[in-house]
Amino acid sequence: MPPARALHVIFCWHMHQPDYRNADGQYALPWTYLHACKDYADMIAHYEENPMARGVFNCVPILVEQIEDYTSQFESGHFRDPLLIALASPDLKSLNNEQRHHLMEQCFRLDPEHMLNPFPGYRRLHEIYTIMHSDPAELSDYLSIQFLADLLVWYHLAWTGETVRRGSPLIQKLMDKGHGFTLADRQDLLHFLGELIGGLIPRYRALAEAGRIEISTTPYYHPIGPLMLDFAAAREAVPDAPLPESPEYPGGAERARWHIKRAQTYHPQHFGIAARGMWPAEGGVSAAFVKMLGEAQVTWTASGEGVLTHSLLRSDDDSAPRGRAEYLYKAYRLENQGPALFFRDDALSDTIGFDYKTWFGHDAVIDFVHKLEAIWRQTEDQDHPVVSIILDGENAWEYYPYNGYYFLSELYRSLSNHPHIKMCTFSDYVQDHPEAIKSIPDLAAGSWVYGNFSTWIGDGAKNRAWDMLCTAKQDVDQHFAGLTPELQEEITEQLGRCEGSDWFWWFGDYNPADSVRDFDHLFRMNLRKLYNLMQISPPETLNEPISHGGGPTESGGTMRRTHMEG
């Protein structure tokens, strides 16, 4: 039992994938179900195996919706994802050259060091592919159907979590076999993956109902709420940030409320209870947006350390704390009202997200615990210090040996048994220590990346995308009233998809070209579908790419260090 003065440690794992379905409902990218088989399965398994561990999982509604959609596909046997269609195909000879080429390109999209090189059978397939890659247009003419069968099986084996492999005789048998996979092997694997994905939401719900984890939510399609309310919010942290030509996002406040309400309605349908907390997309907050969350009865929300720093610097109070340990490890409330505000320790969170992947798991745990013990000593004048560690729950583990298995399992054991550390949830802290929540007079607008919004607005391509979205919203407002109720409902949902943050994240030349291409295409496709639903011709500008990318980014652009180094 922890002593009276414990360091409260809250892990918040943010689970998020944008909607990867195209205008016809087909999945353009497979990342939702692949991360489900690997990361979402592993992450809950570590908590299942350690009854003393506590933490928060933030499940974005559009992610949950897609997991449920995949579950339905497995149950019906009618797939809308090219990879699963191929895996389930009784005759791979029926695939045309374009389909085969797509499969070979997709089935090597992973981190080779940890997800390909450890497996001799998979590595051999890649060596063959590399030799023949000098003429990719005709590649599929020279490779056998058995190559495709083995490639499909190995790609899915590589995308299974470490806890899944250790607990499944089928996965172990297939990995031992290594090559020559038959239709029966593929069917067995397909059935296994369907049961794995179908069981995920019930597993998370069971631990939440047992009080061992908290499940929070995000505005439905993951939009940047503060920018929907006011583009000028981007200039609070970057005063000279270029803004879109449009002065504002039309009707942004109404749309932000729609995403919040939609998430609050959807959440209990899958997890049994209402979400008490809401992680705003990308940790994006502003005073106006946090007040909106308060009006929606949200109990807690969170953002990045940079936002707190900027907020305190805006204060006129000379007595405001200046030492990091004096101000970071507390919960706040804006003007003593609305939701409790937690701010992530950017350095600690990024250490897990980016640095420990190259360490031995045991050494990383020792180092992390030492950092927490140092914080416990530095906050000896506080009765209830709290450390918020918030990061993606899926993208880091691809770059860890064994999907982070040894690091995470030992980390939870060490922390849950530590004499001066108490693992808890945000709601636990708010309920148990209301007197410890401090008032903050002002809140600077910003996100968990650099404490500003430069990742989503200010770049030329990002601003063009905002202008396209603003124009589309104006057209919706103009034509909406004259459409049928059924079309109005479809348009409202489709607009939500277009408002997601991910499109703007990927625009910019510093991101990898293949990812920029994929997301650029999906964004413009979503806008075209919106116009088609309105029964008007899409603008010609939607036929031209917005951004091309081309720059290497850490972890392929899926994650970003959230504080400036140096």
Cα diameter, the chain: 74
Please give the pLDDT value at position 486: 97
Rounded mean pLDDT of 226-254?
97
Please give the pLDDT value at position 1: 47
Radius of gyration, alpha carbons of the chain:
24
Rounded mean pLDDT of 65-89?
98
Rounded mean pLDDT of 137-155?
84
Looking at 119-128, 479-488, 495-504, 546-555, which range is the least confident one? 546-555
| Cβ atoms within 10 Å of 527's Cβ, excluding its own | 24
8 Å CB contact between 286 and 451:
no
Looking at 244-253, 463-472, 552-561, which range is the least confident one? 552-561
8 Å CB contact between 406 and 357:
no
Asked whether residue 565 carries a pLDDT value surpassing 60, the answer given is: no
Distance CA(270)–CA(268), nearest Å, equals 5
CA distances 35 to 200, 392, 526, Å, are 12, 12, 23
Asked whether residue 285 carries a pLDDT value surpassing 50, the answer given is: yes
DSSP 8-state secondary structure symbol assigned to residue 344: B
Span 380-434, pLDDT tens digits: 999 999 999 999 999 999 999 999 999 999 999 999 999 999 999 999 999 999 9
Distance CA(229)–CA(327), nearest Å, equals 28
Please give the pLDDT value at position 323: 84
Span 147-168, pLDDT tens digits: 999 999 999 999 999 999 999 9
pTM: 0.95
Distance CA(310)–CA(445), nearest Å, equals 9
Looking at 29-38, 93-102, 447-456, which range is the least confident one? 93-102
More confident position, 557 or 314: 314
CB-based burial label for 78 (10 Å; 0-12, 13-18, 19+): exposed
Asked whether residue 141 carries a pLDDT value surpassing 80, the answer given is: no
Rounded mean pLDDT of 518-543?
96
Distance CA(11)–CA(196), nearest Å, equals 24
Return the bridge partners of 334, or none: 440
Please give the pLDDT value at position 136: 58
Span 7-36, pLDDT tens digits: 999 999 999 999 999 989 999 999 999 999
Asked whether residue 563 carries a pLDDT value surpassing 60, the answer given is: no
Specify the 3-state DSSP secondary structure of 303.
strand
What b/e string do you get for 126-137 counting C-beta neighbours within 10 Å, with b at 16 or more?
A: beebeebeeeee
Nearest CA-CA partner of 219 in 181, 250, 191, 259: 259
Residues of the chain with pLDDT > 90, as a percent, come to 87
Run of H or E including 57: strand 55-59
Residue partners of 377: CB distance under 8 A and separation at least 6 = none
Rounded mean pLDDT of 75-95?
96
Please give the pLDDT value at position 319: 57
Distance CA(261)–CA(220), nearest Å, equals 8
548: Cα separation from own chain's centroid: 23
Specify the 3-state DSSP secondary structure of 228.
helix
Return the bridge partners of 446, or none: 285
State the virtual CA torsion across 251, 255, 257, 262 in degrees, nearest 10.
160
Span 168-207, pLDDT tens digits: 999 999 999 999 999 999 999 999 999 999 999 999 999 9
Asked whether residue 305 carries a pLDDT value surpassing 50, the answer given is: yes
Asked whether residue 557 carries a pLDDT value surpassing 80, the answer given is: no
Asked whether residue 2 carries a pLDDT value surpassing 80, the answer given is: no
